[in-house]
Amino acid sequence: MSQAIGILELTSIAKGMELGDAMLKSANVNLLVSKTICPGKFFIDARRGYRRYPAGY
């Protein structure tokens, strides 16, 4: 099985937190890093993994 790493840089901290939460609840990913990198910028780094919650949680 091949692995992939996805990286997102967003211009809204609130949207970044919301997106990180939605990714963990609905996709087959593990969160590696989720943090503010400068004022107004949010960084998410996720790796394909196992689903933490059942679909539709």
Tens place of pLDDT per residue across the chain (57 aa):
566 677 778 888 888 888 888 888 887 777 777 888 888 777 777 776 655 555 554
Report CA torsion sign: 21, 22, 24, 25: positive
What is the architecture of the domain spanning 5-48? 2-Layer Sandwich (3.30)
Give residue 49's pLDDT. 62
Distances (CA, A) of 49 to 23, 24, 57: 12, 10, 17
Give residue 42's pLDDT. 78
Give residue 57's pLDDT. 47
Strands (E), the chain: 5-10, 29-38, 41-48
What single DSSP character describes residue 39? T
Domain locations in the chain as residue ranges: 5-48
Give residue 43's pLDDT. 77
